[in-house]
Amino acid sequence: SLKNNIINKLCSDLPDAFWHRKRHMMSLPYEKDFTEQNIPTKAIPIQMIYELMEHSFYVNKNSEIERGTPRLVINYKLLNAALQWIRHPIPNKKDLLKRLSEAKLFSKFDLKS
C-alpha cells in the first residue's frame, strides 16, 4: 500500500515516470555470413574517427550552427548493403477499400493513414 501511494504521488507529478512498457526485441534481416563486427554503427565514435582519419575520410567542416562538440556522421551504405531487401508493395485503392468494408473495429491510426 505504501508502494502504491508513492507511485500514485509521483505519477501525479510525472505521469510517465512509472510507465510500464513492454520491451520489444527487434532484429534486422542480415545477409548470410554477416557478423555484428561488420556493422558500422556498432563501433565506438572515437575509434571510428581514428579509423576514418587513417583512410582520409574525416572532414572537419564548420557548420552554420556552432554546437561546440564534434559530430559523427555515418554513411549507412555499408549497413544497407548488408541487409536483405524486403519488399513491401503499396496496396492499391480497391484492396484497401475491400479491407475497410470487411473490418469491424477501427482506430485513429486507420483514419490517419
On whether residue 4 sits in a domain, the answer given is no
User: How many domains is the chain partitioned into structurally?
Assistant: 1
On whether residue 3 sits in a domain, the answer given is no
> pTM value?
0.26
On whether residue 22 sits in a domain, the answer given is no
- How confident is the model over 59-73, as pLDDT tens digits? 566 666 666 666 667
Q: Which residue range forms the structural domain that includes residue 98?
A: 27-112
On whether residue 63 sits in a domain, the answer given is yes
DSSP 25-55: -----BPTT--GGG-GGGS-HHHHHHHHHHT
3-class SS of residue 83: strand
What is the C-alpha separation between 31 and 54, in angstroms, rounded?
Answer: 28
- How confident is the model over 27-63, as pLDDT tens digits? 777 777 777 666 655 555 666 666 666 665 555 666 6
On whether residue 12 sits in a domain, the answer given is no
On whether residue 57 sits in a domain, the answer given is yes
On whether residue 93 sits in a domain, the answer given is yes
Angle among Cα 58, 46, 32 to the nearest 5 degrees reads 85
> At residue 73, what is the residue type?
V
Q: What is the CA radius of gyration of the chain?
A: 24
On whether residue 10 sits in a domain, the answer given is no
